[in-house]
Amino acid sequence: MNKIPIAVAEGDGIGPEIMRATLHILEAAGAALEIHKVEIGEKMYLKGFPTGMDPKMWDVIRGTKAFLKAPITTPQGGGFKSLNVTIRTTLGLYANVRPCVSYFPFVATKHPEMDVVIVRENEEDLYAGIEYRQTPDVCSSIKIISRAGSEKIIRYAFEYAKRTERKKVTCFMKDNIMKFSDGLFHKVFDEIAAEYPNILNEHWIVDIGAAKLADTPEVFDVIVMPNLYGDILSDVAAQIAGSVGLAGSANIGEKGAMFEAIHGSAPRRAGQNVANPSGLILAAVQMLVHIGLVEAGEKIHNGWLATLEQGIHTYDIFKEGLSKQKVGTAEFGAAVIKNLGKNPQQLKTVAYSRAAEPLIHKHLPTSSSRKLVGIDVFIYFRGQMQQFFDRISHINVGALRLKMITNRGVRVWPQGQPETFCIEQWRCRFVSDEDKAVSQHEVIQILHAFDHVQMDVIKSEFLYTFDNKAGYSSAEG
Ligand code: NAD
């Protein structure tokens, strides 16, 4: 049988120990893999690679079917980019898939019935990393949600549910506040959900959804969410299932995939042979299923479940009275190897679908008539509202008129309230009367007018209508 090439990074802290245990299990299970080592992490950061990786390593990763990665340590101090974010965005790994399962009664949890898969969008949202310090005391981060990005992840969630015979896909978002960005995610969810009539669908505002997830996780099945909510809630879900040390995650793209434990490099536990390798073992199972070595994946997963049932536990899940034997990393790995070929007695035996993962590239671009109608100009100004207003109230160009001034989104003119707390960042909105189309030249002239009165412009945003509906939020604070 031809071996499948995979890239392997040992990482930092507990990484090398848990990777060693995992690779022994993969070998013992007869997984036909050709391993290509990749050096990443702390050493590489300290050698001067700001992303924690020598760019030459991209070719090694590209030449393989999957990347199995142990956690790395990001050195303290500024100037270091997140290697994970770099790998996910560079390789287009848009779907982060984290099964969070309870192993009751063998691992203590308040949620014995929990079996949730979190599908987190991986490329957009605030993780695009577009951030600015606009004034000495104001910073801003830009949240990007696109139709194409939302479609890919939401379709992936439904295809995942179909392939794994799950019954329901839930969407978490916050479109009561972010009507445009999260509103688009919600809209796309409704459109795609309609294509899967055999799978139930529902949506929750993320705050109450998160509360429900923490309280009654058994009511959820697959949950799809934008990047930031998914990042936070997948850790919460893994922890309430039993331990962050038990969860693996897959980062799936059209041209690559990366698999890792969800925890970090736990430097305090490094070199002591105590860390739980389970997260990385389960990530390796996800990898085997992804690359088509389904039998080896099932063998390892079921052997691992049998080991948990036998009460052979690492310190993090060891409980007097519940566990039988406290073991180290290597001994836990050896116990899993001994159990290869066995199925769990009480926990559910795992059987994975043989169907290949679908390629998610269908994109439904929308068409609408787009019209430029104005501009928002952001100004750095330290002073009172009235002083500010007096300096800019005369500005107008063609049909563009000053319609409102806001501070942190709250309208302060016209009809502002004296109680409103103002900071040094002001937004002035110029819109044409009756939303008449204006030219780029006219909106740029507005910027010139601010320059003329020596106002400190820090940012501008052009305002469009789409099919005569405003493509910008109003401020009715
Ligand atoms: P962490 O997840 O590494 O560890 C937090 C605590 O959880 C540990 O002290 C330990 O008590 C426990 N723990 C975690 N994994 C365990 C395991 N497998 N077995 C037993 N106990 C385990 O989080 P942290 O301390 O905040 O981060 C440490 C480093 O890891 C940082 O440099 C951080 O940037 C990095 N990190 C890397 C990744 C990654 O590479 N994917 C992810 C998260 C954090």
pLDDT tens digit sequence for 357-377: 777 766 777 888 999 999 999
pLDDT at 430: 97
Q: Of all atoms in ligand 1, which is nearest to the CA of residue 14?
A: 18
The answer to whether residue 79 scores a pLDDT higher than 80 is: no
* Distance in Å, CA 477 to ligand 1 centroid: 42
Percent share of the chain, pLDDT over 70: 99
pLDDT at 245: 84
Q: Model's pTM, two decimal places?
A: 0.92
pLDDT at 301: 98
pLDDT 10s digits, 130-184:
999 999 999 999 999 999 999 999 999 999 999 999 999 999 999 999 999 999 9
pLDDT at 477: 40
The answer to whether residue 26 scores a pLDDT higher than 50 is: yes
- List, as one string, the DSSP characters of 187-218: HHHHHHHTT-TTSEEEEEEHHHHHHHHHH-GG
Q: Of all atoms in ligand 1, which is nearest to the CA of residue 266?
A: 3
Residues 6 or more apart whose CB falls under 8 angstroms from that of 383 comprise none
Spell out the domains of the chain, with CATH numbers in brackets.
4-338 (3.40.718.10), 370-470 (3.30.70.1570)
pLDDT 10s digits, 247-264:
999 999 988 999 999 999
Q: Coil, helix or strand for 18?
A: helix
Ligand 1 neighbour 276 (Cβ under 6 A): yes
Number of other CB atoms surrounding residue 452 within 10 Å:
10
For the chain, the average pLDDT equals 94
If one compares 334 and 353, the residue with the highest pLDDT of the two is 334
Q: Give the pLDDT mean for 205-228.
A: 97
The DSSP call for residue 319 is -
User: Burial level of 418, CB count in 10 A (0-12/13-18/19+)?
Assistant: exposed
Q: Comparing 45-54, 405-414, 429-438, 447-456, which segment has the lowest mean pLDDT? A: 45-54
Residue corresponding to tokens 């391993």: 35
Ligand 1 neighbour 329 (Cβ under 6 A): no
Q: Give the pLDDT mean for 434-444.
A: 95
Separation CA 259–CA 254 (nearest Å): 14
Residue corresponding to tokens 């060891």: 318
pLDDT at 367: 82
The answer to whether residue 460 scores a pLDDT higher than 90 is: yes
Q: Of all atoms in ligand 1, which is nearest to the CA of residue 263?
A: 2
The answer to whether residue 436 scores a pLDDT higher than 90 is: yes
Q: Of all atoms in ligand 1, which is nearest to the CA of residue 315?
A: 20
* Distance in Å, CA 264 to ligand 1 centroid: 3
pLDDT at 437: 96
Residues 6 or more apart whose CB falls under 8 angstroms from that of 25 comprise 281, 284, 300, 303, 333, 336, 337, 340
Q: Coil, helix or strand for 327?
A: coil
Q: Whose CA is nearest to atom 11 of ligand 1?
A: 266
Q: Coil, helix or strand for 459?
A: strand
pLDDT at 270: 95
pLDDT tier at 61 (50, 70, 90 boundaries)? very high
Structure tokens at 243: 């331990």
Ligand 1 neighbour 265 (Cβ under 6 A): yes
pLDDT 10s digits, 296-327:
999 999 999 999 999 999 999 999 988 999 99
pLDDT tier at 333 (50, 70, 90 boundaries)? very high
pLDDT at 175: 96
pLDDT tier at 268 (50, 70, 90 boundaries)? very high
Ligand 1 neighbour 260 (Cβ under 6 A): yes
Residue whose CB lies within 8 A of the most ligand 1 atoms, among 96, 263, 280, 318, for a mutation test = 263
The answer to whether residue 476 scores a pLDDT higher than 70 is: no
